[in-house]
Amino acid sequence: MRYLGLILDGRWSFGQHFVQLSPKLINSAAALGRLLPNVGGPETPCRRLYAGVVRSMALYVAPIWVDSLTARNKALLRRSQRVIAVRVMRGYRTVSWTVATLLASDPPWELQAEALAEVYRSVKTVLPTRFAEKDRGVGVFVMDTFSSRHKSRRG
């Protein structure tokens, strides 16, 4: 089942999601790579901006799938990351994933996904109490306003 761009299966393994996501990422990275020649072309800030586009596509809803990352899914992510990292660092296709991501200053996407998941979890634990307090405050305000208006009409 496809929901908001995420492919869900009955086991929450997300294997099919990564199988379909990887070609999209590689095609996007290749298309952006054509705008980024190794000799000349845009400077590093522009190259990092283009890399951010592919990274955003890869890390979409990362807090949901990060706990289901398998070695195969990591390999699919790394293949896509390497393609755009090579262009950012102005390297050649023989450069390894490790070197390309290091020189492009782009940490592994699986680590970035874990960081996003951690932020999501911490915000999720803090915000519901704040929203509940605000909702309670809004409810009290509405009831007070309603009762004061009702009293002013009666008396």
Place of tokens 């102005």: 90
pTM: 0.71
pLDDT per position as a tens digit, 52-66: 999 998 888 888 888
Give the whole-angstrom CA distance, residue 105 versus residue 15. Answer: 28
**Which has the closest alpha carbon to 49: 36, 61, 58, 68?**
36
Helices (H), the chain: 15-34, 44-58, 62-65, 71-88, 97-103, 109-154
Phi, psi (rounded to 5 degrees) for 29: -65, -40
Please report, for the chain, the start and end positions of each structural domain, with discontinuous segments joined by +: 2-121
SS3 6: strand
Q: DSSP character for 105?
A: T
pLDDT tens-digit profile of 25-50?
A: 889 988 888 888 878 888 888 889 99
Q: Which of helix, strand or coil describes residue 112?
A: helix
H or E element that contains 2: strand 2-3
Pick from 39-48, 104-113, 135-144: least confident: 135-144
- What was the pLDDT predicted at 138? 62
Residue 132 above 70 pLDDT?
no
Judge whether residue 86 has pLDDT over 70: yes
